[in-house]
Structure 1
Amino acid sequence: MGALALALVIAACGSRGPAPSDDGGTAYPAGRFDDYKPHAWENGGPDRYRIHGIDVARYQGTIDWPEVRRAGISFAYIKATEGGDMVDPKFEENWRNARRAGIPRGAYHFYYFCRSAEEQARWFIQNVPRDPQALPPVLDMEWNPFSPTCTTRPPAAVVRSEAQIFVRMIEQHYGKRPVIYTALDFYEDTYIGRLRRVDFWLRSVAGEPHITYPGQDWKIWQYTGTGSVPGVTGPVDINVFRDGPAAFADWAG
Protein backbone atom coordinates (compact mmCIF):
# COMPACT_ATOMS: atom_id res chain seq x y z
CA MET A 1 0.00 0.00 0.00
CA GLY A 2 1.16 3.53 -0.70
CA ALA A 3 4.91 3.91 -0.24
CA LEU A 4 5.62 0.38 0.97
CA ALA A 5 8.38 -0.06 -1.61
CA LEU A 6 10.15 3.19 -0.76
CA ALA A 7 13.88 2.47 -0.79
CA LEU A 8 15.54 5.61 0.54
CA VAL A 9 15.78 5.94 4.29
CA ILE A 10 16.25 9.32 5.93
CA ALA A 11 17.45 9.66 9.52
CA ALA A 12 14.59 9.58 12.01
CA CYS A 13 14.28 11.76 15.07
CA GLY A 14 12.30 11.94 18.30
CA SER A 15 9.39 9.70 19.21
CA ARG A 16 5.64 9.77 18.86
CA GLY A 17 2.63 7.60 19.40
CA PRO A 18 -0.35 6.89 21.60
CA ALA A 19 -0.65 7.74 25.24
CA PRO A 20 -1.68 5.02 27.71
CA SER A 21 -5.41 4.49 28.17
CA ASP A 22 -7.12 6.35 31.00
CA ASP A 23 -10.66 5.09 30.42
CA GLY A 24 -10.38 1.73 32.15
CA GLY A 25 -9.63 -0.17 28.95
CA THR A 26 -6.47 -1.91 27.84
CA ALA A 27 -3.38 0.12 28.73
CA TYR A 28 -1.70 0.69 25.39
CA PRO A 29 1.97 1.68 25.80
CA ALA A 30 3.31 5.04 24.74
CA GLY A 31 4.84 4.74 21.28
CA ARG A 32 8.53 4.73 20.42
CA PHE A 33 7.95 5.15 16.71
CA ASP A 34 8.42 8.12 14.43
CA ASP A 35 8.44 9.22 10.79
CA TYR A 36 11.33 9.57 8.37
CA LYS A 37 9.47 12.42 6.67
CA PRO A 38 7.14 13.86 9.33
CA HIS A 39 4.22 16.05 8.34
CA ALA A 40 3.50 19.22 10.32
CA TRP A 41 0.04 18.25 11.56
CA GLU A 42 -2.22 20.87 13.07
CA ASN A 43 -3.91 20.18 16.41
CA GLY A 44 -1.85 17.07 17.02
CA GLY A 45 -2.99 15.10 13.98
CA PRO A 46 -2.51 11.35 14.52
CA ASP A 47 -0.89 11.89 17.91
CA ARG A 48 -4.37 12.49 19.33
CA TYR A 49 -5.22 8.82 18.84
CA ARG A 50 -4.28 6.07 21.28
CA ILE A 51 -4.15 3.06 19.01
CA HIS A 52 -1.56 2.96 16.24
CA GLY A 53 -0.83 0.08 13.88
CA ILE A 54 1.28 -0.81 10.86
CA ASP A 55 0.60 -2.56 7.58
CA VAL A 56 3.33 -4.65 6.01
CA ALA A 57 4.23 -6.81 3.03
CA ARG A 58 7.32 -8.50 1.65
CA TYR A 59 8.97 -5.10 1.17
CA GLN A 60 9.64 -4.88 4.91
CA GLY A 61 11.73 -8.06 4.87
CA THR A 62 12.11 -9.94 8.16
CA ILE A 63 10.31 -8.15 10.99
CA ASP A 64 11.19 -8.35 14.68
CA TRP A 65 7.60 -8.56 15.93
CA PRO A 66 8.38 -8.54 19.68
CA GLU A 67 10.34 -5.32 19.13
CA VAL A 68 7.41 -3.88 17.15
CA ARG A 69 5.13 -4.59 20.09
CA ARG A 70 7.56 -3.04 22.57
CA ALA A 71 7.61 0.06 20.35
CA GLY A 72 3.92 0.60 21.13
CA ILE A 73 2.33 -0.72 17.94
CA SER A 74 -1.12 -2.06 18.82
CA PHE A 75 -2.19 -3.85 15.63
CA ALA A 76 -0.88 -4.95 12.24
CA TYR A 77 -2.35 -5.65 8.83
CA ILE A 78 -0.37 -8.11 6.73
CA LYS A 79 -0.56 -8.50 2.97
CA ALA A 80 -1.82 -11.96 2.13
CA THR A 81 -2.85 -12.12 -1.52
CA GLU A 82 -3.07 -10.21 -4.78
CA GLY A 83 -5.26 -11.00 -7.75
CA GLY A 84 -6.10 -14.67 -8.15
CA ASP A 85 -2.70 -16.36 -8.08
CA MET A 86 -0.26 -14.41 -5.92
CA VAL A 87 0.51 -14.94 -2.22
CA ASP A 88 2.86 -12.53 -0.48
CA PRO A 89 6.00 -14.59 0.28
CA LYS A 90 6.21 -13.15 3.80
CA PHE A 91 2.55 -13.67 4.68
CA GLU A 92 2.76 -16.95 6.59
CA GLU A 93 5.86 -15.82 8.49
CA ASN A 94 4.35 -12.47 9.45
CA TRP A 95 0.95 -13.99 10.25
CA ARG A 96 2.52 -16.52 12.61
CA ASN A 97 5.08 -14.25 14.26
CA ALA A 98 2.78 -11.27 14.83
CA ARG A 99 0.42 -13.54 16.75
CA ARG A 100 3.27 -15.03 18.76
CA ALA A 101 4.30 -11.51 19.73
CA GLY A 102 0.78 -10.77 20.95
CA ILE A 103 -0.06 -8.20 18.29
CA PRO A 104 -3.63 -8.30 16.95
CA ARG A 105 -3.31 -8.87 13.21
CA GLY A 106 -5.44 -9.10 10.13
CA ALA A 107 -4.90 -9.91 6.45
CA TYR A 108 -5.46 -7.81 3.35
CA HIS A 109 -5.96 -8.54 -0.33
CA PHE A 110 -4.66 -6.24 -3.08
CA TYR A 111 -7.29 -6.08 -5.80
CA TYR A 112 -6.38 -6.80 -9.45
CA PHE A 113 -8.74 -5.29 -12.00
CA CYS A 114 -8.16 -7.96 -14.65
CA ARG A 115 -9.68 -10.86 -12.67
CA SER A 116 -13.20 -11.38 -11.34
CA ALA A 117 -14.16 -10.54 -7.78
CA GLU A 118 -15.35 -14.12 -7.19
CA GLU A 119 -12.00 -15.58 -8.24
CA GLN A 120 -10.07 -13.17 -6.03
CA ALA A 121 -12.30 -13.76 -3.01
CA ARG A 122 -11.86 -17.51 -3.39
CA TRP A 123 -8.09 -17.05 -3.61
CA PHE A 124 -8.04 -15.00 -0.40
CA ILE A 125 -10.19 -17.58 1.38
CA GLN A 126 -7.91 -20.38 0.17
CA ASN A 127 -4.81 -18.72 1.63
CA VAL A 128 -5.95 -16.89 4.78
CA PRO A 129 -6.89 -19.03 7.80
CA ARG A 130 -10.28 -18.52 9.42
CA ASP A 131 -8.98 -17.35 12.79
CA PRO A 132 -11.63 -15.95 15.18
CA GLN A 133 -8.91 -13.90 16.87
CA ALA A 134 -7.87 -12.16 13.65
CA LEU A 135 -8.90 -8.60 12.79
CA PRO A 136 -11.58 -8.10 10.11
CA PRO A 137 -10.25 -8.87 6.60
CA VAL A 138 -9.38 -5.99 4.28
CA LEU A 139 -9.91 -5.37 0.58
CA ASP A 140 -7.26 -2.95 -0.73
CA MET A 141 -8.65 -1.11 -3.77
CA GLU A 142 -6.52 1.54 -5.45
CA TRP A 143 -5.33 2.31 -8.95
CA ASN A 144 -2.09 0.62 -9.93
CA PRO A 145 -0.58 2.45 -12.92
CA PHE A 146 2.73 0.59 -12.48
CA SER A 147 1.32 -2.92 -12.84
CA PRO A 148 3.22 -4.84 -15.56
CA THR A 149 0.09 -6.77 -16.56
CA CYS A 150 -3.03 -4.76 -15.71
CA THR A 151 -3.46 -0.99 -15.67
CA THR A 152 -7.13 -1.00 -16.62
CA ARG A 153 -9.52 1.32 -14.78
CA PRO A 154 -13.07 -0.03 -14.91
CA PRO A 155 -16.08 2.31 -14.69
CA ALA A 156 -17.05 3.39 -11.20
CA ALA A 157 -20.23 1.33 -11.14
CA VAL A 158 -18.29 -1.80 -12.10
CA VAL A 159 -15.71 -1.16 -9.38
CA ARG A 160 -18.37 -0.80 -6.72
CA SER A 161 -20.20 -3.91 -7.92
CA GLU A 162 -17.02 -5.98 -7.87
CA ALA A 163 -16.10 -4.67 -4.43
CA GLN A 164 -19.54 -5.61 -3.11
CA ILE A 165 -19.21 -9.15 -4.44
CA PHE A 166 -15.77 -9.57 -2.86
CA VAL A 167 -16.72 -8.24 0.58
CA ARG A 168 -19.96 -10.24 0.65
CA MET A 169 -18.10 -13.49 0.01
CA ILE A 170 -15.45 -12.59 2.57
CA GLU A 171 -17.99 -11.69 5.24
CA GLN A 172 -19.90 -14.91 4.68
CA HIS A 173 -16.72 -16.97 5.12
CA TYR A 174 -15.04 -15.16 8.03
CA GLY A 175 -18.12 -13.87 9.82
CA LYS A 176 -16.69 -10.37 10.22
CA ARG A 177 -17.63 -7.07 8.63
CA PRO A 178 -14.91 -6.36 6.03
CA VAL A 179 -12.83 -3.22 5.68
CA ILE A 180 -12.07 -1.40 2.42
CA TYR A 181 -8.75 0.42 2.14
CA THR A 182 -8.47 3.14 -0.46
CA ALA A 183 -6.65 6.31 -1.49
CA LEU A 184 -8.07 9.70 -2.41
CA ASP A 185 -7.86 9.52 -6.21
CA PHE A 186 -9.55 6.11 -6.30
CA TYR A 187 -12.18 7.27 -3.82
CA GLU A 188 -13.02 10.31 -5.94
CA ASP A 189 -13.02 8.39 -9.24
CA THR A 190 -15.18 5.46 -8.14
CA TYR A 191 -17.43 6.78 -5.33
CA ILE A 192 -16.42 3.71 -3.37
CA GLY A 193 -17.62 5.47 -0.23
CA ARG A 194 -21.19 4.71 -1.29
CA LEU A 195 -20.80 1.07 -0.29
CA ARG A 196 -22.70 -0.02 2.79
CA ARG A 197 -21.99 -2.70 5.40
CA VAL A 198 -18.26 -2.09 5.23
CA ASP A 199 -15.79 -0.08 7.29
CA PHE A 200 -13.32 2.24 5.59
CA TRP A 201 -9.57 2.59 5.94
CA LEU A 202 -8.48 5.86 4.35
CA ARG A 203 -5.04 6.97 3.21
CA SER A 204 -4.35 10.65 3.84
CA VAL A 205 -0.75 11.71 4.48
CA ALA A 206 -1.08 15.49 4.28
CA GLY A 207 -4.46 16.20 5.83
CA GLU A 208 -6.82 14.62 8.31
CA PRO A 209 -9.62 12.46 6.86
CA HIS A 210 -12.39 14.91 7.76
CA ILE A 211 -10.64 17.39 5.45
CA THR A 212 -9.60 15.14 2.56
CA TYR A 213 -12.69 12.87 2.68
CA PRO A 214 -15.40 15.25 3.93
CA GLY A 215 -18.44 13.48 5.28
CA GLN A 216 -16.93 10.00 4.97
CA ASP A 217 -17.01 7.76 8.03
CA TRP A 218 -13.85 5.77 8.67
CA LYS A 219 -12.41 3.19 11.03
CA ILE A 220 -8.66 3.37 10.24
CA TRP A 221 -6.58 6.27 8.97
CA GLN A 222 -3.23 5.68 7.24
CA TYR A 223 -1.35 8.87 7.99
CA THR A 224 2.13 8.09 6.69
CA GLY A 225 3.95 5.77 4.32
CA THR A 226 7.36 6.70 5.75
CA GLY A 227 7.00 5.58 9.33
CA SER A 228 9.98 4.55 11.45
CA VAL A 229 9.18 1.65 13.78
CA PRO A 230 11.71 -0.34 15.84
CA GLY A 231 11.74 -3.91 14.61
CA VAL A 232 11.03 -2.90 10.99
CA THR A 233 13.86 -2.12 8.59
CA GLY A 234 13.19 0.99 6.55
CA PRO A 235 9.95 2.92 6.09
CA VAL A 236 6.57 1.42 6.90
CA ASP A 237 2.95 2.60 6.78
CA ILE A 238 1.52 3.69 10.13
CA ASN A 239 -2.18 4.00 10.88
CA VAL A 240 -4.51 4.97 13.71
CA PHE A 241 -7.74 3.39 14.85
CA ARG A 242 -10.42 6.04 15.18
CA ASP A 243 -11.87 5.08 18.56
CA GLY A 244 -10.53 4.11 21.97
CA PRO A 245 -9.34 0.80 23.44
CA ALA A 246 -12.79 -0.51 24.42
CA ALA A 247 -14.16 0.12 20.92
CA PHE A 248 -11.06 -1.44 19.40
CA ALA A 249 -11.52 -4.59 21.49
CA ASP A 250 -15.15 -4.87 20.38
CA TRP A 251 -14.27 -4.27 16.71
CA ALA A 252 -11.36 -6.70 16.79
CA GLY A 253 -13.71 -9.41 18.01
Structure 2
Amino acid sequence: MPPEKRIPNKAPVTRKPGVKKPAVRKPATNKKKKSALSIQLKLFLAGLLLILLSPFYYGYVLRSFVATWRWVKDWGQDPNYRTYESFNIKIPKKYTIHGIDVSYYQGKINWPKVKEMKEDEVSIRFAFIKATEGLLLVDPYFQRNWREAPKSGIICGAYHFFRPKKDGKTQAKFFLQVVNIEKGDLPPVVDIEALDGVSPLKMRAELSDFLNYVELKTKVRPIIYTGLKFYEDYLLNFFDDYPLWIAHYYQPKLRLDKSRWKFWQHSDKAKINGIGHVVDFNAFNGDSLALDRLLVR
Protein backbone atom coordinates (compact mmCIF):
# COMPACT_ATOMS: atom_id res chain seq x y z
CA MET A 1 0.00 0.00 0.00
CA PRO A 2 1.12 3.45 -0.64
CA PRO A 3 2.06 5.41 2.35
CA GLU A 4 -0.76 7.41 3.92
CA LYS A 5 -1.03 10.92 2.65
CA ARG A 6 -0.53 13.58 5.10
CA ILE A 7 -3.45 15.96 5.49
CA PRO A 8 -2.35 19.52 6.10
CA ASN A 9 -3.90 21.45 8.93
CA LYS A 10 -5.49 23.97 6.50
CA ALA A 11 -7.10 22.98 3.32
CA PRO A 12 -5.74 24.80 0.30
CA VAL A 13 -7.98 27.52 -1.23
CA THR A 14 -9.53 26.44 -4.44
CA ARG A 15 -9.99 29.30 -6.90
CA LYS A 16 -12.53 29.26 -9.64
CA PRO A 17 -11.20 30.21 -12.92
CA GLY A 18 -12.33 33.74 -13.66
CA VAL A 19 -12.36 36.14 -16.56
CA LYS A 20 -10.00 38.95 -16.15
CA LYS A 21 -11.64 42.32 -16.77
CA PRO A 22 -9.88 44.39 -19.33
CA ALA A 23 -8.55 47.65 -18.12
CA VAL A 24 -10.84 50.56 -18.93
CA ARG A 25 -8.94 53.40 -20.43
CA LYS A 26 -10.21 56.97 -20.31
CA PRO A 27 -10.02 58.67 -23.64
CA ALA A 28 -6.99 60.73 -23.88
CA THR A 29 -7.69 64.46 -23.77
CA ASN A 30 -6.12 66.49 -26.52
CA LYS A 31 -5.17 69.37 -24.37
CA LYS A 32 -3.48 71.19 -27.17
CA LYS A 33 -6.52 70.96 -29.49
CA LYS A 34 -8.92 72.09 -26.73
CA SER A 35 -6.71 74.97 -25.93
CA ALA A 36 -6.59 76.03 -29.59
CA LEU A 37 -10.40 75.97 -29.91
CA SER A 38 -10.79 78.01 -26.77
CA ILE A 39 -8.44 80.66 -28.12
CA GLN A 40 -10.28 80.78 -31.46
CA LEU A 41 -13.65 81.21 -29.72
CA LYS A 42 -12.31 84.01 -27.60
CA LEU A 43 -10.89 85.76 -30.64
CA PHE A 44 -14.20 85.40 -32.50
CA LEU A 45 -16.20 86.85 -29.62
CA ALA A 46 -13.76 89.69 -29.20
CA GLY A 47 -13.95 90.50 -32.92
CA LEU A 48 -17.75 90.38 -32.88
CA LEU A 49 -17.84 92.70 -29.89
CA LEU A 50 -15.58 95.18 -31.65
CA ILE A 51 -17.82 95.13 -34.74
CA LEU A 52 -20.98 95.66 -32.71
CA LEU A 53 -19.42 98.56 -30.87
CA SER A 54 -18.08 100.14 -34.04
CA PRO A 55 -19.89 103.30 -35.32
CA PHE A 56 -19.22 102.10 -38.86
CA TYR A 57 -21.29 99.00 -38.16
CA TYR A 58 -24.23 101.07 -36.96
CA GLY A 59 -23.90 103.33 -39.98
CA TYR A 60 -24.01 100.30 -42.26
CA VAL A 61 -27.04 98.87 -40.45
CA LEU A 62 -28.84 102.19 -40.64
CA ARG A 63 -28.12 102.58 -44.35
CA SER A 64 -29.30 99.03 -44.98
CA PHE A 65 -32.47 99.63 -43.00
CA VAL A 66 -33.26 102.83 -44.89
CA ALA A 67 -32.61 101.16 -48.25
CA THR A 68 -34.82 98.20 -47.29
CA TRP A 69 -37.59 100.51 -46.06
CA ARG A 70 -37.53 102.45 -49.32
CA TRP A 71 -37.59 99.24 -51.32
CA VAL A 72 -40.57 97.93 -49.35
CA LYS A 73 -42.34 101.26 -49.59
CA ASP A 74 -41.91 101.48 -53.35
CA TRP A 75 -42.09 97.75 -54.09
CA GLY A 76 -44.10 97.07 -57.20
CA GLN A 77 -44.74 100.75 -57.78
CA ASP A 78 -44.23 102.66 -60.98
CA PRO A 79 -41.52 105.35 -60.61
CA ASN A 80 -44.04 107.85 -62.00
CA TYR A 81 -46.37 107.18 -59.05
CA ARG A 82 -45.05 109.26 -56.17
CA THR A 83 -46.18 110.30 -52.72
CA TYR A 84 -47.23 113.91 -52.24
CA GLU A 85 -46.85 114.71 -48.55
CA SER A 86 -49.34 117.58 -48.40
CA PHE A 87 -52.07 115.57 -50.14
CA ASN A 88 -51.08 112.48 -48.11
CA ILE A 89 -51.51 110.13 -51.10
CA LYS A 90 -49.65 108.76 -54.09
CA ILE A 91 -50.50 110.57 -57.33
CA PRO A 92 -49.70 109.46 -60.88
CA LYS A 93 -47.15 111.92 -62.27
CA LYS A 94 -48.12 111.52 -65.92
CA TYR A 95 -51.28 113.59 -65.48
CA THR A 96 -51.23 117.37 -65.20
CA ILE A 97 -54.88 118.14 -64.36
CA HIS A 98 -56.25 116.98 -61.04
CA GLY A 99 -59.53 117.32 -59.18
CA ILE A 100 -61.79 116.07 -56.41
CA ASP A 101 -65.38 114.99 -55.92
CA VAL A 102 -67.41 115.90 -52.86
CA SER A 103 -70.76 115.45 -51.15
CA TYR A 104 -72.34 116.15 -47.76
CA TYR A 105 -69.76 113.69 -46.40
CA GLN A 106 -67.05 116.38 -46.56
CA GLY A 107 -69.16 118.92 -44.65
CA LYS A 108 -68.71 122.65 -45.10
CA ILE A 109 -65.83 123.32 -47.50
CA ASN A 110 -63.56 126.37 -47.62
CA TRP A 111 -63.22 126.52 -51.41
CA PRO A 112 -60.61 129.35 -51.57
CA LYS A 113 -58.26 127.19 -49.47
CA VAL A 114 -58.92 124.24 -51.76
CA LYS A 115 -57.98 126.34 -54.77
CA GLU A 116 -54.82 127.73 -53.16
CA MET A 117 -53.38 124.30 -52.28
CA LYS A 118 -50.45 123.25 -54.46
CA GLU A 119 -47.46 120.92 -54.37
CA ASP A 120 -45.07 120.25 -57.25
CA GLU A 121 -47.50 121.68 -59.82
CA VAL A 122 -50.36 119.51 -58.48
CA SER A 123 -53.44 121.57 -57.65
CA ILE A 124 -57.22 121.24 -57.70
CA ARG A 125 -58.52 122.30 -61.10
CA PHE A 126 -61.97 120.71 -61.10
CA ALA A 127 -64.58 119.28 -58.74
CA PHE A 128 -67.54 116.96 -59.20
CA ILE A 129 -70.31 117.76 -56.70
CA LYS A 130 -73.09 115.44 -55.63
CA ALA A 131 -76.53 116.89 -56.36
CA THR A 132 -79.17 114.15 -56.10
CA GLU A 133 -79.81 110.48 -55.43
CA GLY A 134 -82.69 108.28 -56.53
CA LEU A 135 -86.05 110.05 -56.78
CA LEU A 136 -86.14 112.22 -53.67
CA LEU A 137 -82.75 112.87 -52.08
CA VAL A 138 -81.02 116.22 -52.60
CA ASP A 139 -77.53 116.53 -51.13
CA PRO A 140 -77.81 119.14 -48.33
CA TYR A 141 -74.50 120.79 -49.30
CA PHE A 142 -75.05 120.81 -53.06
CA GLN A 143 -76.36 124.36 -53.50
CA ARG A 144 -73.59 125.84 -51.37
CA ASN A 145 -70.85 123.85 -53.13
CA TRP A 146 -72.33 124.56 -56.57
CA ARG A 147 -72.31 128.28 -55.79
CA GLU A 148 -69.00 128.68 -53.92
CA ALA A 149 -66.63 126.38 -55.81
CA PRO A 150 -66.86 128.29 -59.15
CA LYS A 151 -66.27 131.56 -57.31
CA SER A 152 -62.84 130.21 -56.36
CA GLY A 153 -61.99 129.40 -59.96
CA ILE A 154 -62.67 125.66 -59.83
CA ILE A 155 -64.43 124.04 -62.79
CA CYS A 156 -67.46 122.11 -61.58
CA GLY A 157 -69.72 119.29 -62.63
CA ALA A 158 -72.79 117.86 -60.88
CA TYR A 159 -73.55 114.18 -60.40
CA HIS A 160 -76.60 112.04 -59.67
CA PHE A 161 -76.32 108.82 -57.66
CA PHE A 162 -78.37 106.36 -59.70
CA ARG A 163 -80.73 103.76 -58.23
CA PRO A 164 -81.46 100.96 -60.74
CA LYS A 165 -84.68 99.99 -58.94
CA LYS A 166 -86.16 103.41 -59.69
CA ASP A 167 -87.40 104.67 -63.04
CA GLY A 168 -84.47 106.09 -65.01
CA LYS A 169 -86.34 108.88 -66.79
CA THR A 170 -87.96 110.05 -63.54
CA GLN A 171 -84.54 110.18 -61.87
CA ALA A 172 -83.25 112.28 -64.77
CA LYS A 173 -86.14 114.76 -64.40
CA PHE A 174 -85.50 115.03 -60.68
CA PHE A 175 -81.77 115.66 -61.27
CA LEU A 176 -82.41 118.45 -63.79
CA GLN A 177 -84.93 120.11 -61.47
CA VAL A 178 -82.15 120.55 -58.92
CA VAL A 179 -79.16 121.28 -61.16
CA ASN A 180 -78.92 124.25 -63.50
CA ILE A 181 -76.19 123.32 -65.97
CA GLU A 182 -74.50 126.33 -67.56
CA LYS A 183 -71.81 127.17 -70.07
CA GLY A 184 -68.34 126.36 -68.73
CA ASP A 185 -69.53 123.49 -66.50
CA LEU A 186 -68.33 119.94 -66.80
CA PRO A 187 -70.92 117.58 -68.34
CA PRO A 188 -73.51 116.10 -65.95
CA VAL A 189 -72.57 112.77 -64.41
CA VAL A 190 -74.55 109.65 -63.54
CA ASP A 191 -72.98 107.58 -60.75
CA ILE A 192 -73.83 103.87 -61.12
CA GLU A 193 -72.16 101.53 -58.63
CA ALA A 194 -74.58 98.69 -57.80
CA LEU A 195 -77.42 96.62 -59.22
CA ASP A 196 -79.57 97.16 -56.12
CA GLY A 197 -81.11 93.72 -56.59
CA VAL A 198 -82.20 94.09 -60.22
CA SER A 199 -80.81 92.23 -63.22
CA PRO A 200 -78.00 93.75 -65.31
CA LEU A 201 -80.47 94.01 -68.21
CA LYS A 202 -82.94 95.99 -66.09
CA MET A 203 -80.14 98.23 -64.77
CA ARG A 204 -78.92 99.03 -68.26
CA ALA A 205 -82.45 99.79 -69.49
CA GLU A 206 -83.10 102.31 -66.69
CA LEU A 207 -79.63 103.81 -67.06
CA SER A 208 -80.22 104.25 -70.79
CA ASP A 209 -83.48 106.12 -70.09
CA PHE A 210 -81.64 108.45 -67.69
CA LEU A 211 -78.84 109.19 -70.15
CA ASN A 212 -81.16 109.77 -73.10
CA TYR A 213 -83.38 112.20 -71.21
CA VAL A 214 -80.50 114.25 -69.78
CA GLU A 215 -78.82 114.50 -73.16
CA LEU A 216 -82.10 115.45 -74.81
CA LYS A 217 -82.72 118.31 -72.37
CA THR A 218 -79.19 119.65 -71.97
CA LYS A 219 -77.75 118.90 -75.42
CA VAL A 220 -74.75 117.53 -73.55
CA ARG A 221 -73.66 113.89 -73.46
CA PRO A 222 -73.44 112.83 -69.78
CA ILE A 223 -70.44 111.16 -68.18
CA ILE A 224 -70.84 107.68 -66.65
CA TYR A 225 -69.07 107.14 -63.33
CA THR A 226 -68.49 103.60 -62.04
CA GLY A 227 -65.93 101.26 -60.49
CA LEU A 228 -63.60 99.31 -62.75
CA LYS A 229 -65.02 95.91 -61.77
CA PHE A 230 -68.63 97.04 -62.17
CA TYR A 231 -67.74 98.40 -65.59
CA GLU A 232 -66.06 95.15 -66.64
CA ASP A 233 -68.91 93.01 -65.29
CA TYR A 234 -71.96 94.96 -66.49
CA LEU A 235 -71.13 97.93 -68.74
CA LEU A 236 -68.31 96.77 -71.00
CA ASN A 237 -69.39 97.00 -74.67
CA PHE A 238 -72.45 99.02 -73.65
CA PHE A 239 -72.70 102.84 -73.67
CA ASP A 240 -69.40 103.06 -75.57
CA ASP A 241 -70.25 106.54 -76.88
CA TYR A 242 -70.35 108.06 -73.39
CA PRO A 243 -67.32 109.51 -71.58
CA LEU A 244 -66.17 107.34 -68.67
CA TRP A 245 -65.07 108.27 -65.18
CA ILE A 246 -63.57 105.15 -63.56
CA ALA A 247 -62.77 104.42 -59.91
CA HIS A 248 -59.68 102.25 -59.45
CA TYR A 249 -57.79 102.92 -56.21
CA TYR A 250 -54.14 102.88 -55.10
CA GLN A 251 -52.65 101.83 -58.44
CA PRO A 252 -49.92 103.46 -60.55
CA LYS A 253 -51.93 102.77 -63.69
CA LEU A 254 -55.59 102.37 -64.61
CA ARG A 255 -56.16 98.93 -66.09
CA LEU A 256 -58.23 100.18 -68.99
CA ASP A 257 -57.44 101.36 -72.49
CA LYS A 258 -56.54 105.04 -72.26
CA SER A 259 -58.79 105.88 -75.18
CA ARG A 260 -61.83 104.70 -73.21
CA TRP A 261 -61.83 107.00 -70.19
CA LYS A 262 -61.75 110.71 -69.35
CA PHE A 263 -61.41 110.76 -65.56
CA TRP A 264 -59.74 108.39 -63.13
CA GLN A 265 -60.63 108.36 -59.43
CA HIS A 266 -57.41 106.84 -58.10
CA SER A 267 -57.71 107.51 -54.36
CA ASP A 268 -60.36 108.05 -51.71
CA LYS A 269 -58.00 109.21 -48.95
CA ALA A 270 -56.66 112.59 -50.04
CA LYS A 271 -56.29 115.38 -47.50
CA ILE A 272 -57.14 118.78 -48.91
CA ASN A 273 -56.75 122.20 -47.28
CA GLY A 274 -60.15 123.65 -46.44
CA ILE A 275 -61.83 120.23 -46.14
CA GLY A 276 -62.18 118.50 -42.78
CA HIS A 277 -62.52 114.97 -44.11
CA VAL A 278 -60.67 112.75 -46.57
CA VAL A 279 -61.63 113.27 -50.22
CA ASP A 280 -61.66 111.30 -53.48
CA PHE A 281 -58.85 112.39 -55.79
CA ASN A 282 -59.03 112.29 -59.58
CA ALA A 283 -56.85 112.73 -62.66
CA PHE A 284 -58.03 113.98 -66.05
CA ASN A 285 -56.90 112.08 -69.13
CA GLY A 286 -55.69 114.98 -71.23
CA ASP A 287 -54.29 118.49 -71.21
CA SER A 288 -55.95 121.87 -70.65
CA LEU A 289 -57.17 122.07 -74.23
CA ALA A 290 -58.80 118.65 -73.96
CA LEU A 291 -60.51 119.67 -70.74
CA ASP A 292 -61.75 122.88 -72.32
CA ARG A 293 -63.23 120.96 -75.27
CA LEU A 294 -65.16 118.78 -72.81
CA LEU A 295 -66.92 121.71 -71.11
CA VAL A 296 -70.51 122.68 -71.77
CA ARG A 297 -70.80 125.21 -74.64
- Asked whether the equivalents of residues 178 and 198 of structure 1 are also in contact (C-alpha less than 8 Å), the reply is yes
1:124 to 172, 175, 181: 175
Deviates more, 1:45-54 or 1:96-105: 45-54
Q: Stretches of 4+ moved more than 3 A in 1? A: 213-216
- Asked whether the equivalents of residues 103 and 141 of structure 2 are also in contact (C-alpha less than 8 Å), the reply is yes
- Between the aligned partners of 1:193 and 1:216, the Cα distance in structure 2 is 14
In structure 2, the CA distance between the partners of 1:33 and 1:135, relative to structure 1 (3 Å rule), is: farther
2:90 matched to 1:75? no
What is the CA-CA distance between 1:187 and the residue it aligns to?
A: 1.6
**1:110 maps to which residue?**
161
Deviation readout 1:33-62 (Å, 9 max, x if unpaired) = 513xx35xxxxx622211000000001011
2:214 matched to 1:170? yes
1:138 to 189, 192, 196: 189
2:262 to 219, 223, 230: 219
SS of the counterpart of 1:243?
Answer: coil
2:104 matched to 1:58? yes
2:138 matched to 1:87? yes
- Between the aligned partners of 2:94 and 2:197, the Cα distance in structure 1 is 36
- Asked whether the equivalents of residues 165 and 198 of structure 2 are also in contact (C-alpha less than 8 Å), the reply is no
Structure 1: 5+ residue stretches without partners: 1-30, 40-44, 144-150
- Between the aligned partners of 1:193 and 1:233, the Cα distance in structure 2 is 39
- Between the aligned partners of 1:159 and 1:73, the Cα distance in structure 2 is 33
What is the CA-CA distance between 1:162 and the residue it aligns to?
A: 1.7
- Between the aligned partners of 2:225 and 2:237, the Cα distance in structure 1 is 10
Greater RCO, 1 or 2 (C-alpha within 8 Å, sep 6+):
1
Number of residue pairs the alignment of both structures matches: 208
- Between the aligned partners of 1:228 and 1:50, the Cα distance in structure 2 is 19
- Between the aligned partners of 1:113 and 1:244, the Cα distance in structure 2 is 34
Deviation readout 1:208-250 (Å, 9 max, x if unpaired) = 5542x35771000000000111111120001010000111111
2:271 to 192, 209, 228: 228
**1:27 maps to which residue?**
none
In structure 2, the CA distance between the partners of 1:234 and 1:130, relative to structure 1 (3 Å rule), is: closer
**1:238 maps to which residue?**
281
TM-score where L is the length of structure 2 = 0.66
TM-score where L is the length of structure 1 = 0.76
- Between the aligned partners of 2:258 and 2:293, the Cα distance in structure 1 is 24
What is the CA-CA distance between 1:155 and the residue it aligns to?
A: 1.9
- Asked whether the equivalents of residues 160 and 192 of structure 1 are also in contact (C-alpha less than 8 Å), the reply is no
Q: Quote the sequence identity (%).
A: 36
**1:147 maps to which residue?**
none
2:68 matched to 1:47? no
- Asked whether the equivalents of residues 103 and 130 of structure 2 are also in contact (C-alpha less than 8 Å), the reply is yes
- Between the aligned partners of 2:116 and 2:85, the Cα distance in structure 1 is 8
Letter in 2 for 1:140: D
The structure that is helix-richer by fraction is 2
Structure 2: 5+ residue stretches without partners: 1-83, 118-122
SS of the counterpart of 1:218?
Answer: coil
- Kindly report the root-mean-square deviation, in angstroms, between the aligned alpha carbons of the 2 structures: 2.0
What is the CA-CA distance between 1:132 and the residue it aligns to?
A: 1.8
